[in-house]
Amino acid sequence: MSDLTLVGVDLGKHSFHLHGQDKPGREVFRKKLSRQQMMRFFGNIPTCTVVMEACAGSHFVARELIAMGHQAKLISPQFVRPFVKSNKNDFVDAEAICEAATRPTMRFVAPKTESQQILSIMHRTRESLVHDRTKAVNQMHGFLLEFGISLPKGPTMMKRLGNILAEHELPVRLTVLLQRLHQHFSYLNEQIKEMDKELVGQLADDDLGSRLLSIPCVGPITASLLAAEMGDGKQYGCSRDFAASVGLVPRQYSTGGKANLLGISKRGDKNLRRLLVQCARVYMFRLKYQHGALADWVRSMLCRRHSNVVACALANKLARIAWAIAAHHTQFEAGPDALAA
């Protein structure tokens, strides 16, 4: 094991397949281990580079390996796929991970800290609660419509469902079902409010999250998700790299020296991209109250482009500003420097 330099790990739920190789790339070992056996194995070998695909459980394993003194790297699965040889199996996947890691231009995913993972889980939980609340509201609207009661869209009318049921003569069983759905809706609404309070409380103790709130029209939900996904920003070479990771840059299909730019790539975290676009639309809606270089840039863009295009361009700009705040430990300023960020 003295000549071991790189280990590729194909992660699983219960079993893990390891492929070790030396500096020239020759195979040193292949092993199939359980989780406990793998941790004991890495605790007994000299420090080396351990590479895995960025997937469920990979950030926890990376933190454990870093604590042992190893260098842990995560690769996006889409960058490993081209290196899989012929038939696919777990050992071939582990070897492909090693092969991908040796490429000099390979891009790696930064392992998340525990706090970043908790924030990310909170956002996924909140998103699921919002989805369930919308489902409950749509069901109540649909059931009432089947009995000739048409209500305006949205959850606002659901808060006075009791008055609506009292005004109309409906079957008793339907009324009981609607009341149960309304109780479920109220429970989900309270859970979402509690989750929002927890996010605000976490931001108060987070230096980066507090600085991200200085960006105009960026609220606690967007700021906390930015802090969870971006971290200190050091894994990105520049602000455009972060915007590209969120999918807010144009897709390119160029050939023969002719550049052909399409719509935005829509890669990365869909929820974060949606929130940034919403922040951009709120900024455009309140544009008459905004001042500074960023507001002037938006006004000039609206004179030349459709508002949807400007919203995506402004979301790209907000992502770049967020990266600059994280990477340079600054706050947003509405002066001329804000646009350059």
Whether the predicted pLDDT of 169 surpasses 90: no
Q: Give 336 or 174, the one with higher predicted confidence.
A: 174
What does the pLDDT read at residue 175? 87
Average pLDDT, integer, range 285-295: 87
What does the pLDDT read at residue 187? 93
Whether the predicted pLDDT of 177 surpasses 50: yes
Q: Does domain 6-101 have CATH number 3.30.420.40?
A: yes
Nearest CA-CA partner of 226 in 240, 249, 201, 243: 243
Whether the predicted pLDDT of 338 surpasses 50: no
Alpha-helical (H) ranges within the chain are 35-43, 58-67, 77-80, 90-101, 114-146, 161-167, 172-204, 207-212, 220-230, 239-245, 270-285, 293-302, 307-328, 336-340
Whether the predicted pLDDT of 337 surpasses 60: no
What does the pLDDT read at residue 155? 76
Query: CB atoms < 10 A from the CB of 221, how many?
Result: 21
What does the pLDDT read at residue 340? 39
What does the pLDDT read at residue 261? 80
What does the pLDDT read at residue 3? 82
Average pLDDT, integer, range 303-332: 91
Give the HSE-up count for residue 97: Cα atoms under 13 Å, Cβ half-sphere. Answer: 29
Q: pLDDT for 55-83, tens place per residue?
A: 888 999 999 999 999 999 999 998 999 99
Q: pLDDT for 178-203, tens place per residue?
A: 889 989 999 999 999 999 998 888 88
What percent of the chain has a predicted confidence (pLDDT) above 70?
97
What does the pLDDT read at residue 1? 63
CB 54 within 8 A of CB 74: yes
- Would you list the domain boundaries of the chain? 6-101, 114-204, 230-254+263-340
What percent of the chain has a predicted confidence (pLDDT) above 90?
41
What does the pLDDT read at residue 310? 93
Task: Name the band, by pLDDT with cuts 50, 70 and 90, for residue 98.
Answer: very high
Q: pLDDT for 1-39, tens place per residue?
A: 668 889 999 998 889 999 999 888 888 889 999 999 999
What does the pLDDT read at residue 315? 94
Task: Name the band, by pLDDT with cuts 50, 70 and 90, for residue 335.
Answer: low
- Distance between CA atoms of residues 204 and 215, nearest Å: 16
Beta partners for 52?
9, 74
- Residue 76 three-state SS: coil
Tokens encoding 112:
């998340």
What does the pLDDT read at residue 66? 93
List all residues 6 or more positions away from 18 whose beta carbon is below 8 Å from its beta carbon: 7, 8, 9, 10, 29, 30, 31, 32, 33, 38, 41, 94
Average pLDDT, integer, range 294-308: 91
Nearest CA-CA partner of 221 in 129, 332, 336, 109: 129
- Mean of all residue pLDDT scores within the chain: 87
Whether the predicted pLDDT of 278 surpasses 50: yes
Average pLDDT, integer, range 314-318: 93
